[in-house]
Structure 1
Amino acid sequence: MTQTASPPTAVDASAGPLAGFVIADFSRVLAGPYATMLLADMGATVIKVEAPGGDDSRQWIPPHREGVSTYYLSCNRNKHSIVLDLKDEEDLAVAYQIIDSADVLVENFKPGGLARFGLDRDSTARRWPGLIHASITGFGSRGGHDMPGYDLLAQAMSGLMVVTGSPDGPPQRAGVAMFDVITGLHTAVGILGALIERSTSGEGQSLELNLLTSALSGLVNQTTGYAACGNVPMRLGNDHPSLFPYGPFMAADRELVICCGNDAQFRRLTAVLGAPELAEDPRFQHVAERNASRDDLRDRLTSLLATRTAQEWFDALQQQGVPCAPILGIDEGVDLAAQLGLEPVVQAGSAGDAVPLIRHPVDFSRTPVQYPKQPPALDQDREAVLHWLAQRQGETQ
């Protein structure tokens, strides 16, 4: 994949609901870069400051696109890369100039790791009182101060792995770094909230986020069940702890996911299956009873579903408003979104060197998301960023 230096005017060429805001992005890997990509998609000018070795995720191969890690590509479009060695006085001065122009600083260094450069939250609050400083760690700046911030560690220590997998199998990780992504979403939401507050107070503030707190929030009903009533959940495989039927069921040829979130949906399911009497059985009439008798109900449903293929049942159930779905691969899921008109794949960059990536998840009616810039090569935008800084300094003198 060919990547060329951006023209100087490209740094401020964005549009969207966050056009005009500047993000100094000192974050690496996924949680921070995902947050800043969402902001960049919405029009913020994001300057990606990288150490001489570059973002670690640049090296995470396979898979790759023309030698470039798709992990890196997934969360770095619409940004401008400049390499700065903060231990070098001249580079540190450039970093300060970037923050001089920034509304937000995002970083995921270990707690205290930026203090020697005067970029910790206390130092930035003194030097840039209007700055929003968003800091992401693995386990906070107190007791978890020295714990490395890898998503899998948060999956292990949050309880996610204990509630994921078969009841008689080992704890299981999720198929994606979900707590990095959730923390990135929380970071973006927090930054937007802080920008709104600053618009009235005129003051910046520091935001602290960590993977474990985001994980516990993201586990929603599972963690709340423990906090509110002492319930400690365990692995249920593909079963839902509070709903049944709610999961995959074997048809004649393969599994089909069926989701009944209320009694009306269950009645429609039994009608389509040709067994309406199940909905009148006292053991299955209501959610609580179905949960208590799920083994008996599972046997009945499985024997009925075995009479037709998954596709046949899918067509019949869809027509009657019963939530259901085939189990698809990633490729099939992306293709389905395209068939539904959701346009899941966008081209980031100019026509000659655009990179196909997954679209921003929000549709704006008046200020649509744009994708003018592909994920930058390491230090690709140095000259553009330095030119942009010189222009901004000239404007303030």
Structure 2
Amino acid sequence: MLPLEGHTVVALEQAVAVPLATRNLCDLGARVIKVERPGDGDLARGYDHVVEGTGAHFVWLNRGKESLAIDLKSPDGIHVVRRLISQADVFVQNLAPGAASRLGLDAEALRADNPGLVVVDLSGYGSVGPMAQRKAYDMLIQAEAGLISITGTTDEPVKTGIPTADIAAGMYCAQSVLAALLRRARTGEGATIEVSMLDATIEWMGHALYTQLHTGRQPPRMGVGHASIAPYDTYPTRDGQMLIGVQSDRGWRDLVTEVFDSPELACDERFATNVQRVSNRAECDAEVARRTREWTTAELDARLASAGVPAAQVKQLAEVVEHPQLRARERWRSIGTEFARIDALLPPATFQDFEAPMGDVPALGAHSRALLLEAGLSEAAADEVLERGVAAQHHNPAPPLVSPSRVRTTPDS
């Protein structure tokens, strides 16, 4: 049995944060009903069309869900959604600040009808405070949380290459739902939960924030390097670069004696301890780089692995797609989209007794008519709502959820 089998989640979601949270719940067996606008739906559908005609963000975040395309400005539309929520276990939303309340979909009203309901409101800055009504995108939150200020090189700050603030908030959102459902199983009590992207991202600032708090100094931007550890950076090889991260004095001794054949560096007073290596970072990095240039990347990688020194090749995404570790562990599956079957990765948590369902990515409104009927409309009423454009049904019926097939399990697949 899947962990969340029998649980229904209704999500008024768009972009990344809540869709990631509900996809994680879907991977654990929950049924997720995704409520979208007729016409264009979740704005992530239109970010691009690079995955066989479907957006990369949308494919990543929405597999296995059911899509209801319905007009929430219509009384009929709100009635249908309220009915579905009244029968659900979880309601999650990340609309613009105040929008859910204006629609009558605030936690107080919903839990009055369904006391055991778990409601999560995910916003940029929280429901109170001077920035509560501000629009919040991932890049803006990265800036407000200080993440951009410590990311990049000494010359230029940059945002992270993935939507870190969205991902942080989405993960805490999913985690809070699981905790609330666990409590409800014991007490019968639902929950009202608020998750802020700003709070989630500042929590992820971790050691950098505590360094500032207790020393009054902001950690410098280090590029690939680390402000508190040396050697910890990319170093040149004969044909590329190798990332080496030595986090202990024993690791330094292993590096210089077993990999570099330079035992004299092990007792060099400039480098004997991590504190000394950080204080003499330029000299330490120069000594490491002078020796890493002696080998190709593959040769150095093998030497480092044999000595147990933490290191990694700096891979491009084309290499990641064909990563031998993913292939050996059979991490790729095939799922359906509106236009084609595509490859998708299994979720990171692997249960011994079940595999995540990995359902198809829904077309906009793929499940609308079925959900109208589920909300209590008669067939005639459902057809009338569709004819008036209050809801929209995709022209092709939703494909059945089938067991995913394995792909990319061999180099030739």
Structure 2 length-normalised TM: 0.86
8 Å CA contact retained: 1:337, 1:343: no
What amino acid does structure 1 have at the position aligned with 2:103?
F
Partner Cα separation in structure 1 for residue 214 and residue 13 of structure 2: 35
Match for 1:246 among 232, 252, 257? 232
Partner Cα separation in structure 2 for residue 387 and residue 349 of structure 1: 25
Mapped pair 1:235 → 2:226: no
Q: What's the CA shift for 1:239?
A: 1.1
Q: What's the CA shift for 1:124?
A: 2.1
Q: What's the CA shift for 1:339?
A: 5.3
Aligned runs of 1:264-279 on 2, under 5 Å? 264-271=250-257, 272-279=259-266
Partner Cα separation in structure 2 for residue 370 and residue 165 of structure 1: 38
Q: Which residue of 2 aligns with 1:164?
A: 151
Partner Cα separation in structure 2 for residue 180 and residue 267 of structure 1: 40
Match for 1:124 among 92, 107, 110? 110
What amino acid does structure 2 have at the position aligned with 1:288?
V
Partner Cα separation in structure 2 for residue 103 and residue 363 of structure 1: 25
8 Å CA contact retained: 2:86, 2:113: no
Deviates more, 1:330-339 or 1:93-102: 330-339
Partner Cα separation in structure 1 for residue 341 and residue 237 of structure 2: 43
Partner Cα separation in structure 2 for residue 105 and residue 313 of structure 1: 52
Cα offsets for 1:58-108 (capped at 9, x unmatched): 0001x5123211111110001000012111111111101110111110100
What amino acid does structure 2 have at the position aligned with 1:230?
G
Cα offsets for 1:33-67 (capped at 9, x unmatched): 01100100110000001122300000001x51232
User: How many residues in Structure 1 have an aligned counterpart in Structure 2?
Assistant: 373
Match for 2:132 among 145, 148, 152? 145
Q: 1:155 to 1:28 in 2, by over 3 A?
A: same
8 Å CA contact retained: 1:74, 1:358: no
What amino acid does structure 2 have at the position aligned with 1:369?
A
8 Å CA contact retained: 1:113, 1:120: no
SS at match of 1:308: coil
Partner Cα separation in structure 1 for residue 51 and residue 8 of structure 2: 29
What amino acid does structure 2 have at the position aligned with 1:268?
D
Cα offsets for 1:332-375 (capped at 9, x unmatched): 1131155552333221249x95332222111011232122x211
SS at match of 2:99: coil
Q: What's the CA shift for 1:174?
A: 0.8
Match for 2:283 among 293, 296, 316? 296
8 Å CA contact retained: 1:355, 1:374: no
Q: What's the CA shift for 1:311?
A: 1.4
Match for 1:379 among 362, 365, 368? 365
Match for 1:97 among 73, 76, 83? 83
Partner Cα separation in structure 2 for residue 377 and residue 245 of structure 1: 49
Mapped pair 1:38 → 2:24: yes
Q: Which residue of 2 aligns with 1:224?
A: 210
Match for 1:70 among 38, 43, 56? 56
What amino acid does structure 1 have at the position aligned with 2:61?
C
Partner Cα separation in structure 1 for residue 72 and residue 43 of structure 2: 17
Match for 1:47 among 7, 29, 33? 33
Match for 1:311 among 280, 294, 298? 298
Partner Cα separation in structure 1 for residue 319 and residue 238 of structure 2: 21
Partner Cα separation in structure 1 for residue 292 and residue 177 of structure 2: 49
Cα offsets for 1:201-230 (capped at 9, x unmatched): 211111111111111111221122223443
Bigger relative contact order, structure 1 or 2 (CA pairs below 8 A, ≥6 apart):
1
SS at match of 1:249: strand
Q: Which residue of 2 aligns with 1:8?
A: none
Q: Which residue of 1 aligns with 2:335?
A: 348
Q: Which residue of 2 aligns with 1:4?
A: none
8 Å CA contact retained: 2:326, 2:332: no
Partner Cα separation in structure 1 for residue 213 and residue 189 of structure 2: 35
Cα offsets for 1:251-307 (capped at 9, x unmatched): 222110001111121111101111122121122111111111111111111111112
Partner Cα separation in structure 1 for residue 231 and residue 301 of structure 2: 15
Q: Matched residues, percent identical? A: 30
Q: Which residue of 2 aligns with 1:394?
A: none
Q: Which residue of 2 aligns with 1:60?
A: 47
Deviates more, 1:24-33 or 1:334-343: 334-343
Mapped pair 1:154 → 2:158: no
Partner Cα separation in structure 2 for residue 126 and residue 227 of structure 1: 43
Aligned runs of 1:22-37 on 2, under 5 Å? 22-37=8-23
Q: Which residue of 1 aligns with 2:386?
A: none
8 Å CA contact retained: 2:36, 2:69: yes
8 Å CA contact retained: 2:7, 2:89: yes
Partner Cα separation in structure 1 for residue 331 and residue 238 of structure 2: 32
Q: What's the CA shift for 1:134?
A: 0.7
8 Å CA contact retained: 1:58, 1:72: yes
Q: What's the CA shift for 1:139?
A: 1.2
What amino acid does structure 2 have at the position aligned with 1:248?
T
8 Å CA contact retained: 2:4, 2:25: yes
Partner Cα separation in structure 2 for residue 307 and residue 189 of structure 1: 47
